[in-house]
Every structure is written in structure tokens, then in C-alpha cells.
Structure 1
């Protein structure tokens, strides 16, 4: 079987474009991803049906069994989803979710406050984007439902805090990964006058998209600046339609469950608190073991850099489920009710698992096509240096959008950005790498095949394409003002001038949003 690379061909863009366009037009995510996968496989095998079938079988098998062993990352993530579904359903059956909603109605007086609380929780739970989206969604959903906030708005709140917070937090799975990449890049170019962590911290104010995505989220939530599809969903939610029921039950929903009348708020916060604490412990423990294996001293950043995120999520969820079961037994729920909740909770995660499996498959196909390398190659050539920060932002966004992975985009484009800067203006290396980080998060926010976007939909129990289409206008607004900031920064060489430009454009964007929202 001969596999053909398309690193030098625009044909490598065909599978993701087909999948994304079909998903938006048909709103059938699995079918669209499936078509994109088939086109990609046929391209790789030169349209040989036999070879295409063989390669696809290998790719699907690799989701579970890869390089002679279990694909532990995928299995742990899928296991975490199932366990979290069980925890959520059991909390619902116990009546704890309703008790929290009742508590919220007494202490949180407005829809605005419910959204602010969700945003604060999203910022506080910053250790990992998967964890953020799913756990904060489980906590906030009963409260946002009570105040008739659409599931699409909840998904936007989750997604626009998860990645932006993680990408600017050094003590997170994202931050540790980026710091490790930066360390390798600085060592390659012999840059010794700044440390890895110091370079990361210095890049935070240059990450325009992450900063202004968070800022825009605050204003949209606080002042209800709902435009486009989001406005339609919010209007429907006020009528009691939290999600589009004509499209079926969204992932993560447990609508078949009966809630007990004896629920307590602690039945929600104790299991989730144990889940958070246990996950953090396992992340630090696995990172410490990896450091010890390398005979390195323990450090917080080092532990997060080498931590096994997937297994930590899974074992943390096991601890959370164990505590939830103990509380359910103490509450004297019947074994039948407990078993029913566990079954329905696991089953509620199946739609998200199917989408994730298809997304992983197309990501693997796109990786073999070398779509990311083709996108990165577009940055080379005779582009004026002053334009490069903005160009890198756009290309990183398109790469993450096409491949569905911001981490993969980091790995491909950060070294390219550094090479370009070192070739002419070394002082612009950090701003250009920050533009790559910024663009990658933007592309990840817009992509229907991004795992973070998928899991934000799941955490909110929102139909996936509804989340993509409602978040897109806000993501594009922040992207446009970020491009303006990077253009000014590129021509002036001043980060302050770039930030100031973003601030001015942000005010203009708010005025436009307010005018549109009031029409």
C-alpha cells in the first residue's frame, strides 16, 4: 500500500474543507466527517478502493490499538467522558442538581449573575481545557437552565474560557506544553538571556485573541450582546426552549431521569470537588513520576509539562464517581434508580464519543496528508516582515481550523515563526510566536472538528453545530481586532501600540454589537 503525501499541494485542504462545509450546511456532523475521511483516505491511496479500505481499517484500529499497545490516551479520554456522564446523571437523580438550581434562585437574582458565575468558574478551573469544559458545564447547567439561558450561550461561555485561559496560564496542561516547545526553540537558536517560563509570561500580553476573547465574553454575558444565531437561541430559551428539540437530544443530556425530592447542594459540590482535587493530584503525581524517571528535581511547571492528562482525568473521575455512589447510598436511593442513572449517564455521552472518534480519525488522515505543513509553507516567501505577525496569526488560525488541533498547530508553526524572526528581527521572535498561539486558539474556536469545541458542546449539552455557528460571529470579531493589533505591532515593533489598537477596535466592536443587539 503506497501512501502519498500532499505537503506541497492544496489538495491536502480538501478533506477538512469538505467536512467543515458539509457540517455547516447539513448540520449532520457524523456524515460530514465521514465524507471528509473517505475523501482524505482516497487521496492518500491514489483512489485505490482496496488500499483505501486497508488504510482506513488501520486508522480506525489505531484509535484503540497503536504501535503494539493500547492507545491509552484515547481510551482514558473516552473513559473520562463515560464516567462524567454517570456522575452527572447520578447527581441529577439524587436531586442535587435541582437543589443547586433552587439555591441559585435564592442567591443569584438575575440571568446575568448565572452567566457571570459560569465565567468565573471557567477561569478558576484552568488546569486543562477538556476538564474545564466538561466539569464547569456539569456544575453550571442546572443554574443556567433555571434562568432560561440557552445551551448555546452556555457552550460559548465554556469554550471561550477554556482554551483562552489555558493558553495564558503557565500552570496548566497547555501552558506546560507551550513552555516545553518554547524551551526547545530558544535552545535551538542559542537564546540564553531569557528563561522558558519568563518567555511564556512575557508573551501573555501579546496573545491578543485570548485576552480579548475573554474580555468580549464578559461584555456579551453582562450586557446580553446577543447577535446572529445566538440571539435566536436566547430568544427561544426565554420561551423555555433551551435547545433545538427538533434535532433530538444533545450529547450529555439526561432527560429520562427522575429527580429525588431529598437532594442537597452538597450532593453536587462534594463529588465535583473530589473530582477536581483528585484530578489535580494525579496530574501532579504522574508528572512527578516522569520527572523522577528523568532524574530531575520536582517543580510545578515541570510536573505539568510531563503529566499524563488523560489518565489523570480518568482516575480523578473514578474517585468522583465513587464519592457520588457513596452519597447516593447514604441518601437511600434505590439500587434500581442508581443503576438506571449510571446506564443513562453513560448512554448520554455516546453522541459526543461518536463525534470525537470521527474527529480523531479525520485528524489522523489530515496529519498523514500533511495539511498543517502545507499551511505553514504559505508563510514562507516574499512577505514583508512587518506583515508577518498578522500573516502568522491568519495562517495559524486556518491551520487549526482545518486540522481541528491547536496543539498540533503550535508544534508546526512556533518553530517556523521563530526561524523567521531570527533571520531578520530577533526582537520580534516572542511577538511572532504569540501571534501563532493567538491564531491557533482562534482556529480551534471556529472549527467543527476541534475536540475542545466538541467537548464544550457536550459540557453544555448543546447540539454541536449550534455551538459552532453561535460562537463564530464573536470569534471573528476578536480575530479581526487581533489582526489590527498585529499589523500595528508589526509595523511599529511595539507591543503597547498593538494592544492599544486592539483596545480601540474593541470599543468600536462593542458599539456595533450593542447597536445590533438592540435592533
Structure 2
């Protein structure tokens, strides 16, 4: 069944179950079980053994600890502990009071995560988690639903990171582009120059970013988002109370300290940022052979260990500030325990997502889709559109933008180089755009999971509320890619894509009564 149409079954089944049941763990679990049995020819014993090996492989592989996964999961626990200390010390409440005095409108509160999402462009994981910690006290004060906050985080983190050359994504993409250009003997430009020239053709990224700000200024609450925003405004419930625990939710677990100051929130976050970025630079230099420039540093950095280091520093600073407060205050075991407990929903989902991602990889789902694309008789005018849609479906099914980059960038580059070399940069841009689109729609995307975690939102609520916005941006981008293929222009399709997004937003604003203020 590997590499055939049947390899789509676990991914499609999981996506359908998520939409029907809205229970992401159940849906992921069934997808894992079905995929494991497919790989073992329906042998129950072998299937169960495979499931266990997939789970164990997250922590141990080839006889040694899988430190990348362990560092990332540990970072989530550390982030929960830091958040617990910031809450217990009264820092979050103090920051909320300070923000209310300076950010006087709900629109202003929504701008905080959106602007921060663009400013923090170094890494999508870091962006998703750090922005949530900073913005949540502000958006909570103005009763912005956690689903809306998660949308702002997710729809700025990956889009800005994928077009920034000085980022973990940008460095990886530039390295991949360099090998593609060399393989196809294209010498007109270097890898970094090609990356910069590709940016205007990454239509979905700009459509998604524009839609974020149109959503803020026009108060666009589309589909399920309207329900969440109405509940938040009318009842103050920022999450659906019937959904149970959500990542980072510490409400009513302990009493906040009455002498809390803004510094009790700001310094842990600053230490998190400084510690993470410093370690990214250190590991990047250590892993770079020869002279290290800024691009090579971010190409070779170890993101997971950097996040872990930043998390440790942040916990230590938050602990020191908490201990320096006068009594009464909650006991340390309670704060540590509740902080770790708050992150368990995110960790469960992330572990299951990794397992089904491994299943889908072994079934060669991505390779099957890529093969169908390579063998198809494609009109060159529609090449960018087809690449965009296929990359989107592949990222949706597999839950990984990076995996889609790795499979689709070489294929798109080779097809364009052989057929029409002038289309190579638009074709590569379409891969990046489609990968981010699929990532935004996928419930098993790690970036989507971490955006839910950073916002403290129920994960499936975030997926379903973001979906209409992602589709709007994708529809506009699809039209743009048709224009690009037919005209050979770059800037005209981008302008038309943005005009279409703005037009759709204005139509929705006119005919759809809004709940937000």
C-alpha cells in the first residue's frame, strides 16, 4: 500500500474524523491505528508493536535519546511553569492593568499579537509561543476569544518566517534552493538572491497577512469565529467551557499575588527571548564549518535546544522574582505542578501528531502525490496554480511544511527548469505558499498546535475557526497564480491577489453582521 492511492487513507480519515467529531486526539488515534495496520498487512500483533515503536521512537532512536523531541517537549513544560509563575506572582494581572491604561480599544488589543507576530520573525515555534505569552493578558482584558488570538498568532508566524531570510525557515529554504539551482545548472542568480526575488510570488503569505489586519479593522468574524467572539463578549468565556482543558489554562488554580508588578511578567519573557536567541546564535556558530555569517548561523542553528535553554533561563528568572515577593503566596509544588499540567493537552496532541506523521511518511503519501504530479501532462500556464494546490494538500495531509518543502521544491524546480526556466522562481514560490496554506489548515501541523498552545485555545477550535480565513486567502492566491502563469508577471498577480482579498473582506463586512467591537 506504500506509495499508492491507498496511502491517503489514514490522512483523509483523520481529517474527516476531526471535522465530524471535533475530537482531535480520538481522530489522530484512529488514524494511527489504521495506518499501522495498513503497514503491517492487518496483523494485529505487528500493528500494535509498530504503534509502540512509533511512540518510543519519539524519545529513543537508534539506541540513543532523541534529544530534539525531548528538548521541545521539555520546553513546553518549562513554558507552562513560567506562565504559572507569571500568573501566581500577579505579573499577568499587573500587565493587564497597565495595558488597559494604554491600549484603550478592543481593536488595539488585537493589534498587539498581530504586530508582534510580524516583528518576531526568527522562528515559527518561538513566534507562536512567545507572542501568545505577551499578548494574552491584553487580549483577555478586552474579551478577545482565545480562538481569535490563536488565528492572529498562526496567520502571522509561519507567513512572516517563510519570507524572512534571517530565520530558521528562510535559512533552510535558501540552502535547498542553492542545491536546486546547482542541480539544474541555473547560474543567473545565487540562492539568497533567488530567495529574495521569490518573495513577491509567495501570494498566499501576503494574502493571509492582509486578511489578519482586515479582520481587525473590519471586525470580520466568519463562520465558527463569530460564535467564539460572541460568547467572549457576552459571557467573558474566552474558550468554549464545554471543551474541557486547553493548553496553558491556569484559571482559578491558585490565587494571584496582590503585590504583582509588570516586571514579574516582562523579565521572564525578556529572558526567554534573550536566552533562546543567544543559544540559536551559539549553536549556529558551533555547527557552521568555516567562517560564520548571519545566514549560515540561522541555517545551522539548533532550534529545539535553543528553546529549551531559553525556557530554563525564563523559569529561573520567574522563580527568583516569585520568591522575592512577600508572603502570602502559593507553594512552589503547586505552581510547578499546575504549570506542567496546563501543557499536557498540547503535549498529547503533539506526540500523536508526530506519530501519525511518521505513519504517513512510511506509507509514502507525499511521494505518491508528488509522483502523480510529475507524471501529469500539465499546461505550463497552470503550473504555479497546480503546484500551489498540490503543496497545500500535501502539507494538509502530512502536517509538515518542512516535509513538503523537501519533497516539492526539487520536483517543482526540475519541472520548471526543463519546461520553462523563467517559471522556476514562481514555481518554487508556489511550493512555499501552498505549504503554509496546508499548514494553516492541518490539525496535525506542529505550528498550528503550538499556536493553539501559545494562545491557550482549544486546538480543534483554532483549526476550525482559522479555516475560513485560510480558504479566502487561498482562493485569492489561486486566481493570482493563474494570472501569473498566463502573464508571466510577478507584481501584477500580487496586486490582484491583495485586491481580491480586500474585496471579499469588504463584501463579508457589508452583508455579515459583526459581533466584535
TM-score range, shorter chain: over 0.9
Deviations 1:190-230 (A, max 9, x none): 22221111111111111011111011101101221111111
Give me the whole-angstrom Cα distance separating, in 1, the residues matched to 2:120 and 2:248.
20
The Cα of 1:338 is off from its aligned counterpart by 3.0
1:150–1:237 CA contact under 8 A, matched in 2: yes
2:210–2:498 CA contact under 8 A, matched in 1: no
The equivalent residue for 2:295 is 301
The equivalent residue for 1:327 is 321
Written as runs of structure 1 = structure 2, the 5 A alignment for 1:41-52 is 41-52=36-47
Give me the whole-angstrom Cα distance separating, in 1, the residues matched to 2:244 and 2:51.
30
Verify: 1:375 aligned to 2:362, yes or no. Answer: no
TM-score (norm 1): 0.97
Give me the whole-angstrom Cα distance separating, in 2, the residues matched to 1:261 and 1:279.
30
Of residues 479, 502, 515, the one that matches 2:497 is 502
- Secondary structure of the corresponding residue to residue 379 of structure 1: helix
CA RMSD of aligned residues (A): 1.2
Give me the whole-angstrom Cα distance separating, in 2, the residues matched to 1:513 and 1:70.
51
The equivalent residue for 1:285 is 282
The Cα of 1:518 is off from its aligned counterpart by 2.6
- Secondary structure of the corresponding residue to residue 378 of structure 1: helix
Deviations 1:224-262 (A, max 9, x none): 111111111101000112110111121111111211111
Of residues 244, 253, 263, the one that matches 2:249 is 253
**Count of matched residue positions in the alignment of Structure 1 and Structure 2:** 511
Deviations 1:361-387 (A, max 9, x none): 000000000111111122222110111
The equivalent residue for 1:183 is 178
Give me the whole-angstrom Cα distance separating, in 2, the residues matched to 1:103 and 1:177.
40
Deviations 1:107-149 (A, max 9, x none): 1000000111111111111111111111111111111111010
The equivalent residue for 1:451 is 446
- Secondary structure of the corresponding residue to residue 501 of structure 1: helix
Q: Can you give the 5+ residue segments of structure 2 that lack an aligned partner in the other structure?
A: none
1:20–1:449 CA contact under 8 A, matched in 2: no
Runs of 4+ in 1 over 3 A off after TM superposition: 332-336
Change (3 A) 1:186 1:334: farther
Give me the whole-angstrom Cα distance separating, in 1, the residues matched to 2:339 and 2:188.
52
The Cα of 1:473 is off from its aligned counterpart by 0.4
The Cα of 1:331 is off from its aligned counterpart by 1.7
Verify: 1:198 aligned to 2:199, yes or no. Answer: no
The Cα of 1:334 is off from its aligned counterpart by 5.8
Change (3 A) 1:333 1:313: farther
The equivalent residue for 1:166 is 161
Give me the whole-angstrom Cα distance separating, in 2, the residues matched to 1:176 and 1:82.
28
Of residues 321, 328, 333, the one that matches 1:339 is 333
TM-score (norm 2): 0.97
The equivalent residue for 1:241 is 237
Q: Can you give the 5+ residue segments of structure 1 that lack an aligned partner in the other structure?
A: none
The Cα of 1:333 is off from its aligned counterpart by 5.1
